[in-house]
Amino acid sequence: MLDTSKIKLDFPILSRQMNGKGLVYLDNSATSQKPQTVITAITEYYMNHVANVHRGVHTLSDESTHLFENGKTKIAHFFGAKKQELIFVRNTTEAINGVAYGWGEHNLVAGDVILVTVMDHHSNIVVWQELAKRKSAQLIFVGVTDSGTLDLIDLEKKLEQFGEKVKLVALPHVSNALGTVVPVTKVVELVKRANSQTRILVDGAQSAPHIPITFTKIGIDFLAFSGHKMLGPMGIGGLLVREELLKTNEMQPWFFGGGMIAEVHESHTVFHDDINERFVAGTPDVASVVGLAAACEYLENLGMQAVLEHDISLVNYAVQELAKIENVILVGPNFESNSLLNSDIKNPERVGSVSFLYKGVHAHDVAQVLDSQGIAVRSGHHCTMPLHTSQHWIATTRASFQVYNSKEDVDALVLALKKVREVLL
């Protein structure tokens, strides 16, 4: 386990009192808190280095450009990607929209198929519904098994059924509602075996904070992530695109403006040859890039393997303890009580969060009682209405973890959940 008592001190907000109690922040899948190093990096940039990048010859502009480019190098390295494969966006949602506009618009024709999953976040559904409408394409859902995992048999069946029409498979690495880890390597194998030309997009919103990722090695084409869920600032995220798709222009810019151009004429524009520049339309959010680079550094200093192990042991502990509470029904991989999950660190079944139903009580009421005890959790459908509908759940309550959470935080949650019964039933 990580030394959480030391780590907690790095996050100023965690010393706050909440409703008369010490804050227990368990809403990390929605957004994570920020360490002092990230806050300082942003403040330092605004206090000492502000200037527009790439465009000036003066020293401040040089400093700002250096911080931006250095930050980009660090962030790409964190994801095991080449620098030119990283396109900055505001968040996962914008990254997925980027694939729809920069790739989908140019590569889909009527009748083509996009495969997503029933457990996807709305951001990885609505974008494709809209693209499918524009292109007269079909959006097909791959199911989820009774034990909360991706139904690989259904995936195989649909890959076979739609054959070469399947142009894109877009799926989450980790479900934000179930904590399920999708076996990406297996998915890549199935998809590429069915058609080597099918592109794969992984929504890494919930995996980037917990799982070491080497983009160039996993055989996918796109990876979307949000900085704010991985200790970084809000308003910065990334889309990783396999270099070949950029070099061949299969993936094209979808925002246009200054910065990305080589020449502009009244009749036409020639875009930058350098891929690193071609997707930067307008002034980038330098401070947020600097802040996200500091977040990556913070996680790297802890070690992503240690971060993953910490998360898995917290998730296991939470599953074990929550399963003992009367009226709590766990959802997600392996619903059986007291069974330890994720024992195989290389192939964890669940990371990041534990969601549950509370018999006879709406999730919002559960969350409100927990809030009165200083515990922040999320309740509702977690932007996964198709999943909730398929399971006949109105709403679930989710506790989600980060590097600063400890077993004591889980104990506090368990204790407060016992109060739900006293207060509401």
Ligand X SMILES: Cc1ncc(COP(=O)(O)O)c(C=O)c1O
* Site residues for ligand X per CB under 6 A: 29, 91-93, 121, 123-124, 172, 176, 203, 205-206, 226
d(CA 236, CA 87): 10
Residues 6 or more apart whose Cβ sits within 8 Å of residue 100: 127, 128, 130, 131
- Shortest gap between Cβ of 210 and ligand X (angstroms)? 12
Residues 6 or more apart whose Cβ sits within 8 Å of residue 153: none
Residue 417 tokens read as 């959940």
- Shortest gap between Cβ of 125 and ligand X (angstroms)? 10
- Shortest gap between Cβ of 387 and ligand X (angstroms)? 11
Residue nearer to ligand X on the CB measure, 93 or 406? 93
Looking at 367, 383, 399, 416, which residue is catalytic?
A: 383
Residue nearer to ligand X on the CB measure, 29 or 405? 29
Residue nearer to ligand X on the CB measure, 32 or 91? 91
- Shortest gap between Cβ of 91 and ligand X (angstroms)? 3
Active site residue 383: yes
Closest CA to 200 of 208, 189, 211, 214: 189
Residue nearer to ligand X on the CB measure, 206 or 396? 206
- Shortest gap between Cβ of 228 and ligand X (angstroms)? 6
- Shortest gap between Cβ of 3 and ligand X (angstroms)? 27
Residue nearer to ligand X on the CB measure, 77 or 381? 381
Residue nearer to ligand X on the CB measure, 228 or 242? 228
Active site residues: 383
